[in-house]
């Protein structure tokens, strides 16, 4: 199915910005400000490296940069809010100022979300399932976009229970519908909300696959669907690949999500995802192909 066309309103100068989603998939590039990631070697935090990474992802086709100061990986401890702000706020400010791109910030802490919005972020990506309702109140006050993700686990907690869901797709739908309603009661307009079904979060690989097979009901909620499928555990379980070797599986999940009408894809490998979507769009007749399209000689052979 084609992605339903929806409007997303986010924070920004002059009353905020507007994204019209649904015509083509939107890519959200991932930048880990902490240097800690489940899918990459641990690195010392570096503002310079974060800016360079964001610049590269934008050049490759990312329309949104998602900056996280605390990894969702359970192998490390949660950061104090003050430390997370030190990592995130300067990077948000520089990326917005130098690249002029929409920035979302991956956090479940109100203080971090406030500092991120002060620094110029447009969206708060709350991976806690809106456990802290003050996040919604803040987004309502600032006009910021709000990602509501499904999870049954607390942040930094791994929950794998094969008996947790009777019908995972239905339960995810109902959870997101309820949290969306609550966000509305707290002042968040529907047009500010994105919905993330939460692949792998409090889900076994089997449950994630079942969930992604049954995405269609989420469109009934009328909001854009964000797919955070990059290098996820369910792909590793299916392919027996470590995180950095899961690109092919990620692209397969991207194809499925696009076919299911998802709007935004959160990915590490933006260039590969953009190339994949371009060729897919051309072959499906969704992308115009000029009659004089030709391969430049410099790209015909490897030197």
- Residues serving a catalytic function are 232, 266
How far apart are alpha carbons 209 and 134 in whole angstroms?
Answer: 32
Distance separating the N- and C-terminal Cα atoms of the chain: 41
All residues at 6 or more sequence positions from 294 whose CB lies less than 8 Å from its CB, including other chains: none
How far apart are alpha carbons 144 and 12 in whole angstroms?
Answer: 8
How far apart are alpha carbons 250 and 242 in whole angstroms?
Answer: 12
* Strand 6-10 with 17-21, pairing: antiparallel
CA 100 to chain centre: 19
How far apart are alpha carbons 24 and 20 in whole angstroms?
Answer: 10
């Amino acid at each position: 199915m084609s992605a339903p066309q929806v409007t997303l309103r986010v924070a920004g100068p002059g009353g905020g910005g507007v994204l019209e989603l649904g015509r083509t998939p939107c890519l959200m590039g991932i930048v880990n400000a902490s240097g800690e990631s489940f899918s990459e070697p641990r690195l010392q935090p570096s503002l310079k490296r974060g800016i360079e990474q964001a610049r590269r992802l934008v050049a490759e086709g990312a329309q949104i940069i998602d900056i996280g100061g605390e990894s969702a990986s359970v192998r490390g401890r949660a950061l104090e809010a003050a430390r997370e702000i030190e990592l995130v706020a300067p990077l948000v400010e520089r990326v917005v100022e130098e690249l002029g791109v929409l920035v979302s910030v991956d956090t479940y802490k109100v203080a971090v979300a406030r500092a991120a919005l002060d620094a110029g972020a447009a969206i708060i990506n709350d991976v806690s399932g809106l456990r802290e309702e003050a996040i919604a109140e803040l987004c309502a006050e600032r006009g910021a976009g709000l990602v509501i993700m499904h999870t049954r686990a607390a942040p930094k907690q791994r929950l794998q229970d094969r008996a947790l869901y009777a019908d995972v797709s239905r339960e995810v739908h109902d959870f997101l519908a309820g949290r969306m309603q609550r966000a509305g009661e707290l002042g968040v307009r529907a047009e500010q909300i994105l919905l993330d079904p939460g692949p792998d979060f409090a889900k076994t690989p089997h449950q994630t696959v079942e969930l992604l097979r049954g995405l269609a009901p989420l469109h009934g909620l009328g909001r854009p669907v964000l797919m955070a499928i990059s290098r996820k555990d369910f792909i590793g379980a299916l392919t027996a690949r470590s995180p950095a070797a899961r690109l092919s599986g990620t692209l397969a999940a991207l194809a499925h999500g696009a076919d299911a009408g998802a709007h935004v894809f959160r990915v590490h490998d933006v260039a590969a995802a953009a190339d994949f979507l371009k060729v897919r769009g051309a072959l499906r007749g969704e992308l115009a192909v000029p009659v004089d399209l030709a391969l430049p000689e410099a790209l015909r052979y490897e030197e």
